[in-house]
């Protein structure tokens, strides 16, 4: 066997079914081994960044580790944005990066870069294979690290000569020496003292105005059911971060919606008035907290998180419970008494009635379009997004049925993420209808990945809100920069439906509200890659919005 064949056997052993990537000189031994492999599907994207985002979307949709492969040099560096995106959003990914032969490393050889060094700040760990006998154990360890604790990306650098060398499964070393294990791995799950759990219960029982603030960690730990049981037992309203959307039922009486810069008014006001904030799997990022010294300033804070480095990093906390969210919530459920908060729920209902967002069903607005998609899919589609106003509209108006249905770039905010992520999600969940909600600026970033969808018969649907501008940039320029629209105008030069048709996909252009439903239905029924271009007013805004640096109770765009 070659080293590349051992690599594929190792990937099969850890359950890999799909690899996204792009071939090149340094990984030709691996692609040669793939030629006769019948157990692992390979999806070649148009660009390596698309491959990384597709592996990311696949991981989020399936709960499995996403796998991406590239050649050395520019192939590897084209993965960097996708790796950083996965790192920021805690997505398990293994990156197979080609490298020049070991005798050429360090000599500025053709297409040589130190990809382990380049990605050091945005990976959980990196491996540089130097010994053909260490292929199997390196793959095993990479997958263990990618999924353990707080998930994230792991890079394996694969020199060409190691992949081409002769070896066999018998000579593969079984385990790493203890000295080589990842002793400095950032995340280590732990059990909190019984005393801390009892203190948490005491704080909960003393509270009259509690709020649960749930983040992406709830999804990653599979804690959605436990969160619902916990919230119902103590009658506590729940708000989520952008990454936490879907981890709590959208139609539940205790659900407040999203928190933060574009959160619901009642979620922001409830957190601002609460006397106890229970944060679960959330990291208090700036888009949630606004002005940090005004965030939940009247509240005691309990922080439940698997990553000890996040506790107290951005906001002071009164009690930390370090460990897996599902496990800790389950233990709290066992010992916390039931409680009711009638007056507090009435206060929140007042907020909802006062600031209820107006219906716009008769106009061609983003809300109208998202709600039509929601009705036609019954909230059961997977929704991936690009980044910008459309991302917020999707988060605000689609009613997600489960925690794996919303796939978006939260921490890094990567334009061009949505389409390849949608492709990866559809590969992993072919039973689901998959949409990419896009803006025209973001769609232009990676619209060429429509070719990937066409070549592999992956029927994803892209809804492009065309406002002839970089919408969120324009909104900020209007609201905070005196209306000086510097380089945010895209012009009326592109017909995205016709661009899709030029690729060979289905294309529909919508300019009136009465055309929306039929276009979406046809795109779903077409069962081929499709683009639905929706022409909207360039002055449409993502509101509410909290101005940067302001407390979250100071919102613009609400009545």
Active site residue 170: no
Token pair listed for 469: 């501008």
The verdict on whether omega for the bond into residue 453 sits within 30 degrees of 0, i.e. cis, is no
Catalytic residue among 88, 261, 472, 555: 472
Active site residue 141: no
Residues 6+ apart with CB under 8 A from 546: 260, 261, 262, 263, 268, 290, 552, 554, 555, 556
Catalytic residue among 111, 391, 396, 475: 111
Which residues on neighbouring strands pair with residue 280, listed in sequence order? 214, 304
Packing angle, helices 471-480 and 389-397, rounded to 10:
100
Dihedral angle at the C-alpha atoms of 206, 235, 231, 278, nearest 10 degrees?
Answer: -30
Token pair listed for 83: 């790796």
275/559 Cα distance (integer angstroms): 26
Contact 270, 246 (CB under 8 A): no
For 12-112, strand residue ranges (E) read 18-21, 41-44, 66-70, 93-99
Contact 407, 425 (CB under 8 A): yes
Active site residue 472: yes
Token pair listed for 227: 């969160």
The structure tokens 């040589």 sit at 112
Catalytic residue among 39, 110, 193, 253: 110
Active site residue 339: no
Residues 6+ apart with CB under 8 A from 72: 24, 25, 26, 27, 97, 98, 99, 100, 111, 112, 113, 115, 160
Q: Which helix (H) or strand (E) holds 232?
A: helix 224-234
Contact 191, 153 (CB under 8 A): no
Catalytic residue among 5, 22, 48, 540: 48
Catalytic residue among 124, 160, 300, 326: 160
Residues annotated as catalytic (active site), given as ranges: 48, 110-111, 160, 472
């Amino acid at each position: 066997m070659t080293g590349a064949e051992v690599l594929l056997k190792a990937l099969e052993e850890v359950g890999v079914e799909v690899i996204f990537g792009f071939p090149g000189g340094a990984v030709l031994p691996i692609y040669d081994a793939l030629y006769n492999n019948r157990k692992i599907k390979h999806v070649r994207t148009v660009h390596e960044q698309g491959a990384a985002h597709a592996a990311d979307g696949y991981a989020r949709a399936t709960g499995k580790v996403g796998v991406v492969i590239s050649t050395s040099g520019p192939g590897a560096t084209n993965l960097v944005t996708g790796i950083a995106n996965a790192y920021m959003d805690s997505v398990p990914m293994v990156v197979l990066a080609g490298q020049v032969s070991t005798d050429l490393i360090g000599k500025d050889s053709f297409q040589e870069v130190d990809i382990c060094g380049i990605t050091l700040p945005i990976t959980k760990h990196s491996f540089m294979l130097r010994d053909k006998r260490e292929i199997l154990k390196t793959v095993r360890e990479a997958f263990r690290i990618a999924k353990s604790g707080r998930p994230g990306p792991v890079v394996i650098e694969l020199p060409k000569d190691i992949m081409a060398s002769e070896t066999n499964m018998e000579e593969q070393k079984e385990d790493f020496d203890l000295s080589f294990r990842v002793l400095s791995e950032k995340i280590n799950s732990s059990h909190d003292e019984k005393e801390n759990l009892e203190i948490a219960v005491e704080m909960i029982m003393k509270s009259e105005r509690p709020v649960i603030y749930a983040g992406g960690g709830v999804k990653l730990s599979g804690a959605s059911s436990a969160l619902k049981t916990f919230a119902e037992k103590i009658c506590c309203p729940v708000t989520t971060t952008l990454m936490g959307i879907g981890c709590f039922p959208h139609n539940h009486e205790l659900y407040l919606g999203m928190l933060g810069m574009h959160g619901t008014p009642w979620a922001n006001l409830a957190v601002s008035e609460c006397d106890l904030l229970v944060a679960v799997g959330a990291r208090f990022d700036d888009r949630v907290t606004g002005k940090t010294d005004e965030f939940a300033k009247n509240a005691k804070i309990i922080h439940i998180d698997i990553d000890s480095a996040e506790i107290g990093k951005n906001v002071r906390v009164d009690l930390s419970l370090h460990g897996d969210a599902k496990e800790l919530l389950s233990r709290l459920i066992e010992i916390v008494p039931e409680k009711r908060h009638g007056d507090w729920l009435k206060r929140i209902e007042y907020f909802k009635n006062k600031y209820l967002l107006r219906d716009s069903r008769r106009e061609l607005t983003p809300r109208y379009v998202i709600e039509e998609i929601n009705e036609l899919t019954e909230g059961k589609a997977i929704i991936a997004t690009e980044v910008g106003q459309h991302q917020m509209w999707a988060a605000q108006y689609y009613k997600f049925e489960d925690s794996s249905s919303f796939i978006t770039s939260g921490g890094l905010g990567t334009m061009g993420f949505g389409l390849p992520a949608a492709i990866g999600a559809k590969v992993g969940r072919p039973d689901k209808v998959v949409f990419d909600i896009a803006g025209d600026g973001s769609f232009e970033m990676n619209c060429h990945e429509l070719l990937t969808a066409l070549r592999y018969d992956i029927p994803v649907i892209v809804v492009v809100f065309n406002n002839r501008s970089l919408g969120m940039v324009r909104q900020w320029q209007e609201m905070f920069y005196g209306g000086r629209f510097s380089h945010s105008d895209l012009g009326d030069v592109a017909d995205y439906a016709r661009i899709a048709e030029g690729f060979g996909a289905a294309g529909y252009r919508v300019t009136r509200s009465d055309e929306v439903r039929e276009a979406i239905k046809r795109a779903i029924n077409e069962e081929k890659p499709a683009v639905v271009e929706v022409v909207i007013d360039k002055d449409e805004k993502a509101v509410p919005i909290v101005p940067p640096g302001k407390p979250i109770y100071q919102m613009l765009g609400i009545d």
